[in-house]
Structure 1
Amino acid sequence: MTTSSLTKAVLFHELGGPEVLKVEDVPLRQPGPGEVLFKVEAIGLNRAEALFRAGGYYYQPTLPGSRLGYEAAGVVEAVGDGVTAFRPGDSVMAAADFDFGVHGVYGEQVLLPEDSVVNRPAGVDAVTSAAAWLTYSTAYGGLVETAALAPGDHVVITSASSGVGTAALQTALRLGAIPIATTRGEAKRQRLLELGAAHVITTDSEDLVKEVRRITGGRGAEVAFDAIGGPGFAALGDALTPGGTAVLYGWLDPRPVQLSMNWPQTVHTYANGVLARTPDHRRRASSFIGSGLADGTLAPVIAATFDGLERMPDAHRLMESNTHTGKIVVTLG
């Protein structure tokens, strides 16, 4: 028999801007079979959560009282029957393979299925861990397991100043590839170069295809890793070498995706949550991320931290301003 208590979580009861996010007391039961309860120390924000809150994600929240949040780091408080991979006191993080309208991690304590929890890399603090899993597992899954990015390959990374974008820059460098970052204006060029971009293309003032061709000596890039979609996706295909690979993992532009006539090429859509539900992928991604954090080749870029769940609307406002580079994290106590 399980017992219930109360904990604080961020909910929203209507679609809208950051102001709809409210901190409320919610029931918290003890873990049942196959479940893990952990105390949250830090929460990493993702663009998908702003889309979900506003009704623009690929699935809709159940209102009123939807939860929110994919990514958190904390310490296990209790486990349910049959759980053998975790025990109280373990440092863990959410694997972001769940419906965050149901299991959203914006809260003081989180109850998740065992398969939605992974161990934090040894010695890695909560803020770094909260900023690491989803961004680096997306970059790893999209670039390595999907696109087979290889040493010496040129890869065009759109929305490169985002959390996933900065993780993709570091992942490409770790693989020996050559990252070409794109950003809309000049404001973030220098920072992207400092973060390891070999080249930066400002799409508001430069022709993407011409610049990629110039950088690659006319050959074109082997891989494109895109968070935007929409009509601009065709230009990424035009910038690829024949036989290249384009991976679309986001849709910041909600308009229909247009494909390039630069054939042959391979186009993949990528859903990190689907891949993260497979134990083998979680094992490989955990090893890649953990070893990268340990040797310093992977280091999450933290744009800003906010303290306390009540600051979540402010954190969302910063995320939607598009003025930051890297990951926004909310800490708890």
Structure 2
Amino acid sequence: MRAILMNARGGREVLQYGEVPTPEPGPGEVRVRVKAVALNHLDVWVRRGVASPKLPLPHILGCDVAGVVDALGPGVTGLEVGLEVVVNPGVSCGRCERCLSGQDNLCADYQILGEHRWGGYAEYVVVPAANVLPKPEGLSFVEAAAVPLTFLTAWQMVVDKLQVRPGEDVLVMAAGSGVSVAALQIAKLYGARVIATASSEAKLERARALGADAVVNYSSPEWYKEVRRLTGGKGVDAVVDHTGAEFWQGVIKATANGGRIAFVGASSGYEAVTPLAHVFYRQLTIYGSTMASKSRLYPILRFVREGKLKPVVGAVLPLEAAAEGHRLLEERAVFGKVVLEV
């Protein structure tokens, strides 16, 4: 099969177009003919060696896949060849206490497609049968590929961790990213007033069009003061963040007494300075978050089907242009997802 192979760790040049044997599904697995695969910053971190630095090479990136079931492994029931599907990127053992309690993203053997196992920058991908769901009718493969990882990640942050309630002020950092585009919509779905930040006026306008009630350009060193002004000096009740060290102190200062912060990444660096007096004296709660239970993709796709949540695609490229897609991500040149058509 055709694939984009990561033969080393480093710059975009390590992504090479080539061919590898087509994988065969084992017991309980299905093979999906990839129609579209969305890019994530996780792809960049894996390529650079920041995430999973000991990963065997060559490797195939790509967490978010939409396609067609092409083959069924032994023992697979309830699915059929030709079914159009969305692939859930979280893979777990399915047997342990965490998995059976619905916390499969805390499984000791948890893997993410494209990070820990070969992903979707290819014509075919093999995944457990439990990881495919029917693609919502009316949604293109490109749009469907823009849903799984970012909406799952945002759902756990907004719904499961922060437990956002109607009327709360929610700050969504870096609103042009895939996770933040999803978080903004989910927070609005749950009745929140959303304040979105971005680094350009164009992205701020896109955030407004997506439903943000107020916007702040966080290029200003004291951007958090504007967030507090917009909340009458109180600060926000909850924050969705993945911006990392550069903005961490501002995030804490923008949060109200008793507020909650959920963070899922560190785009500007991992080594952040935390003003602890703000945390204990103002009684802040800080949640780390990674992905979500596989079960959460069911309500997400229902809301997508109903038009209450919408994938946002910023650029579509052919598979061979994966390196260009990485450039767009690294330069933050798009609002929403970058998707490769296969």
TM, length-normalised to structure 1: 0.89
How many residues get paired?
Answer: 316
For residues 53 and 85 of structure 1, what CA distance do their matches in structure 2 show? Answer: 36
Which residue of structure 2 lines up, in the alignment, with residue 137 of structure 1? Answer: 152
Which of 32, 36, 55 does residue 38 from structure 1 map onto? 32
Structure 1 residues 284, 271: closer, same or farther in 2, change over 3 A?
A: closer
Is 2:85 aligned against 1:83?
A: no
* 1:292-326, Cα deviation, whole Å (9 max, x unpaired): 2122221111111012x211112112222212111
Asked if the contact 2:171–2:240 (Cα under 8 Å) also holds between the matched residues in 1, the reply is yes
Match of 2:123 among 82, 102, 108: 108
What residue number does 1:65 align with?
A: 58
Q: Does residue 1:292 correspond to 2:280, yes or no?
A: no
On the 8 A contact 1:13/1:63 being kept in 2, the answer is no
Q: Deviations over 1:26-72 (max 9, x none)?
A: 12242110111010011111011011111122x22535312211111
Distance in 2, matches of 1:266 and 1:238, equals 13
* Distance in 2, Cα, partners of 1:175 & 1:110: 35
1:323 aligns with 2:333: yes
Q: Which runs of 5+ in 1 are unaligned?
A: 1-6, 277-281
Alignment of 1:238 onto 2:249: no
Q: CA separation in 2, counterparts of 1:72 and 1:255?
A: 28
Q: Which residue of 1 aligns with 2:18?
A: 24
Of 3, 7, 12 in structure 2, the residue corresponding to residue 9 of structure 1 is 3
Q: Secondary structure at the match of 2:71?
A: strand
After TM superposition, give the deviation of residue 121 of structure 1 in Å. Answer: 2.4
Amino acid of the residue matched to residue 37 of structure 2? I
Deviations along 1:88-146, one digit per CA (max 9) or x if unpaired, are 12221221113424221110011112233333223322111100111211111110011
What's the secondary structure of 2:7's corresponding residue?
A: coil
Structure 1 residue aligned with 2:286, among 261, 264, 267? 267
Q: Deviation per CA, 1:197-232, whole angstroms, max 9, x where unpaired?
A: 111111122623311211111221110110112152
Cα pair 2:33 2:67 within 8 Å, conserved: yes
Mapping of 1:251-266 within 5 angstroms? 251-260=266-275, 261-262=277-278, 263-266=282-285
The one-letter amino acid paired with 2:86 is M
Amino acid across the alignment from 2:57: P
Equivalences for residues 101-250 of structure 1 within 5 A = 101=115, 102-205=117-220, 207-250=222-265
37-46 or 319-328, larger mean C-alpha shift = 319-328
Q: Deviation per CA, 1:218-259, whole angstroms, max 9, x where unpaired?
A: 221110110112152222122112211100101102241333
Aligned 8 A contact 2:135 2:144 in 1: yes
Amino acid corresponding to residue 302 of structure 1 in structure 2: V
Counterpart secondary structure, 2:69: strand
Could you tell me whether the CA contact under 8 Å between 2:38 and 2:337 is conserved in 1?
yes
Equivalent in the alignment of 2:323: 313
1:285 to partner: Cα distance: 3.0
Alignment check: 8 A CA contact 1:232 1:258 kept: no
- In structure 2, what is the Cα distance between the partners aligned to 1:156 and 1:83? 43
2:273 and 2:128 mapped to 1: Cα distance?
Answer: 38
| Cα shift readout 1:163-185 (whole Å, capped 9, x = no counterpart) | 11111111111111111111124
State the SS of the aligned residue for 1:27.
coil
Residue identity (%): 34
Q: Which consecutive unaligned segments of at least 5 residues does structure 2 have?
A: 91-110
Q: Give the Cα separation in 1 of the matches to 2:11 and 2:26.
A: 35
CA distance in 2 between counterparts of 1:134 and 1:194 reads 23
CA deviation after TM superposition for structure 1 residue 11, in Å: 0.8
Give the counterpart letter for 2:321 in structure 1. Answer: R
| CA–CA separation in structure 2 for the residues paired with 1:13 and 1:157 | 36
Name which of structure 1's ranges 111-120 and 157-166 shifts more when overlaid on structure 2. Answer: 111-120
Partner of 1:55: 49
Q: What's the Cα RMSD here?
A: 1.7
- Which one-letter code corresponds to 1:37 in the other structure? R
Q: Secondary structure at the match of 2:245?
A: coil
Residue 38 of structure 2 aligns with an amino acid whose one-letter code is: G
Task: Choose the corresponding residue for 2:314, options 288, 303, 307.
Answer: 303
- Counterpart Cα distance in 1 of 2:271 and 2:118: 30
- Would the aligned equivalents of 2:88 and 2:297 in 1 still touch at CA under 8 Å? no
Q: Classify the secondary structure of the residue corresponding to 1:228.
A: coil
